[in-house]
Amino acid sequence: MTKILALIIFPALSALGINFVLYHALASGFANKVFFEECAKIDNPYRLPYTDFPIVNQGLCVLISLFHSTFDPSVYPFMIWFMATTAPIVAFIALEARRQNRKAPFMVKNSTITGLLMQTLSFAFTLPLYWMFSVTSGVISTRPSAGDNSTRTVSKSYAQAVFFAILLGLVVPTVCMLNFQTPYATLAWQPFPAYVAIVQSLYLTIAGSSSGSGYAWIRALYVSCFIANAYVHVSLILPQINDLQTLQNLFVPTEALIDIAKPGPAHALHMIQWDAYIGLGSSILATFWFAKSVGQFIGLLLWTSVAVPALGPGAAFSAAALWRESSLHSGSVRNNRKGRH
């Protein structure tokens, strides 16, 4: 029954993602305006010689223009908030690909492909499909795999590789993009899923393999994501707690098309709001499938209802993902507890 729900809910969310993120940009006239008018101008500061093909440079100009609109003061705080939330989700996707699970579907086994789809077709379209495949295949479950512990755990070397890949392949490029705010820094950020894959491969080549449990490294990764997301969320919300209008403008999207006469930042905010909410919403929703009992489901539901508004969805997801890992690595967790006594 729960798999049937996943087959209904997640594709619907993916369709909403296409509608609000991609269709709205086209239907409002914003995408055409930027491509055919603004980026058609050779002197546009975002139309640089990225490649030897003018039409490609014009298309990249649209992408860079959109991202640089998010650097406007009216949008930038939300952009930082959104970027922070990507870390635990990308970490989850990378870790799942490292589990030796034969029944894992293509999107789960191939984290780089999934990441590049998120970058090209949006978080809002891709993540619901990722969670649909995770749920319907059963790989999202914390239940032990009969007679095969290898499908549940991640080795120490793989966990270390993912830890450093998230740090060097995602966090560093993101900080550089947000800090430098130059066209080339923004363009360099786009293929970050490839950087994550490259760092993992390099680390495993240099450090070699280890058969020990990777739970300690996974815990450090999710705890770091939790702290970072909680800090960003609270530091953004708390100073504006008495200014509900500002918070509404920043966090509450409209369902209507944005008027073409409005400036680029208004269109950019509309796109990334829906991209964030549908992508993050589907991820939070997927955590309910971590439960293997009614009690655990209620616990996750209560945690989500409190943590999302108080600490942010990124922190809420990080904690839920860490709890799942503690179940999957139950043997390692028990051994660690015994070692303290």
Name the DSSP class of 155.
Answer: B
The percentage of residues in the chain with a pLDDT greater than 70, rounded to a whole number, is 94
Predicted TM-score of the model (pTM): 0.94
Paired tokens of 221: 């990764």
340 inside domain = no
Question: In this structure, what are the phi and psi dihedrals at residue 70, rounded to the nearest 5 degrees?
Answer: -75, -10
Paired tokens of 160: 């270390």
Provide the Cα torsion 320, 334, 137, 291; round to 10°. -40
Residue type, 336: N
Helix (H) or strand (E) holding 10: helix 2-17
The per-residue DSSP string of 239-276 comes to GGTT-HHHHHHHH---SSPPPTTS-HHHHHHHHHHHHH
pLDDT tier for residue 9 given thresholds of 50, 70 and 90: very high
220 inside domain = yes
Question: In this structure, what are the phi and psi dihedrals at residue 161, rounded to the nearest 5 degrees?
Answer: -60, -45
338 inside domain = no
Q: What mean pLDDT comes out for the span 138-151?
A: 63
161 inside domain = yes
What's the pLDDT tens digit per position in 270-327? 999 999 999 999 999 999 999 989 999 999 999 999 999 999 999 999 999 999 999 9
336 inside domain = no
Question: Reduced to 3 DSSP states, what percent helix, strand and coil does the chain have, rounded to the nearest 5?
Answer: 75, 0, 25
Task: Please count the structural domains in the chain.
Answer: 1
337 inside domain = no
214 inside domain = yes
Name the DSSP class of 284.
Answer: H
Residue type, 147: G
171 inside domain = yes
Residue type, 41: K
What's the pLDDT tens digit per position in 294-305? 999 999 999 999
Integer Cα distance of 330 and 232 in angstroms: 31
Measure the N-to-C terminal CA separation of the chain; round to a whole number of Å: 43
Contacts of 85 (CB under 8 A, 6+ apart): 229, 276, 280, 312, 313, 314, 317
Residue 61 structural domain: 2-139+150-331
For residue 171, the model assigns a pLDDT of 98
